[in-house]
C-alpha cells in the first residue's frame, strides 16, 4: 500500500463526516442546488466532492463499482483504506463512480425491486462543471424550478420509468456537488 493511500481522508473525522453527511442530505432534499464540499483529498482523477461522498456514504457493507476513468491502484487503495468498501461489478454495486458518459452506457446497475425499491445503486457522476443551464428540474424539494446544465439521458440513467424503483445520482465537479434523485422531473429547455 502506497503512503498516499493513507492520506487525504477526513482529518477530524467526527466533525467532517457529520458536516458532509448533512450537506449530502441537503443536496438530496433540495435537488439541483449546488453545494461546496471539502475535507477529502482523494487521488486523481477522483474529485474532491466525489471523495467526500465516498468517505461519507461508503463502508465495509457497501459495494463500489469504479468506471474505467477512476479505476486505478491509487484510488482502489485509497477507498479500501479509508472506507473498507469492497469493489464489485456493476450488477451488484451499491455505489458507482465515474464520468457521466461512462455510467450512462452501463444498463445493469441495480434499480431496486417492488418489495425493496431502496436496494438500488447510487451513481456518483463526474461532470466537467456544475452550473445553471438548459435542464429544468421540478418535483419534491424544489419550489418552482431549479436549472442545471446536464447531458442528455438523466431519466434513462435514473430509470424513472420504474418508479418507485430507480437510481439516484450524485453529480460532482471539482469540489461541487448536486443531487438528482429519481423523484425529480427533467425537462430540456
**pLDDT tens for each residue of 69-119:** 999 999 999 999 999 999 999 999 999 999 999 999 999 999 999 999 999
- Locate 10 and state its grid cell: 477526513
Contact 37, 52 (CB under 8 A): yes
The conformation of residue 69, written as its DSSP 8-state character, comes to G
169-181 pLDDT, tens per residue? 999 999 999 999 9
pLDDT of residue 2: 60
The pLDDT value recorded for residue 189 is: 72
On the question of pLDDT at 57 being above 60, the answer is: yes
Cell numbers 438523466 correspond to 154
Q: Which domains does the chain have, with CATH numbers?
A: 3-181 (3.40.50.11310)
Q: Which three cell numbers stand for residue 137?
A: 428540474
d(CA 101, CA 103): 6
First to last CA, the chain: 48
Name the CA radius of gyration of the chain, rounded: 16
Q: Give the sheet arrangement for strand 135-138, strand by strand.
A: 146-148, 135-138, 185-188
Amino acid at each position: 500500500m502506497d503512503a498516499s493511500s493513507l492520506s487525504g481522508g477526513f482529518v477530524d473525522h467526527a466533525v467532517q463526516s457529520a458536516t458532509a453527511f448533512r450537506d449530502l442530505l441537503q443536496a438530496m432534499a433540495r435537488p439541483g442546488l449546488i453545494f461546496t464540499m471539502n475535507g477529502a483529498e482523494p487521488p486523481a482523477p477522483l474529485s474532491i466532492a466525489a471523495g467526500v461522498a465516498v468517505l461519507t456514504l461508503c463502508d465495509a457493507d457497501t459495494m463500489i463499482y469504479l468506471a474505467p476513468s477512476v479505476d486505478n491502484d491509487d484510488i482502489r487503495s485509497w477507498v479500501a483504506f479509508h472506507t473498507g468498501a469492497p469493489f464489485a461489478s456493476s450488477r451488484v454495486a451499491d455505489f458507482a463512480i465515474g464520468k457521466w458518459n461512462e455510467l450512462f452506457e452501463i444498463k445493469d446497475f441495480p434499480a431496486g425491486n417492488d418489495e425493496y425499491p431502496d436496494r438500488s445503486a447510487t451513481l456518483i457522476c463526474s461532470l466537467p462543471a456544475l452550473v445553471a443551464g438548459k435542464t429544468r428540474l421540478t418535483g419534491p424539494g424544489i419550489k418552482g424550478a431549479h436549472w442545471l446544465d446536464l447531458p442528455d439521458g438523466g431519466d434513462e440513467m435514473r430509470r424513472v420509468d420504474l418508479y418507485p424503483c430507480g437510481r439516484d445520482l450524485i453529480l460532482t465537479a471539482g469540489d461541487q456537488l448536486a443531487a438528482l434523485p429519481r423523484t425529480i422531473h427533467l425537462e430540456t429547455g
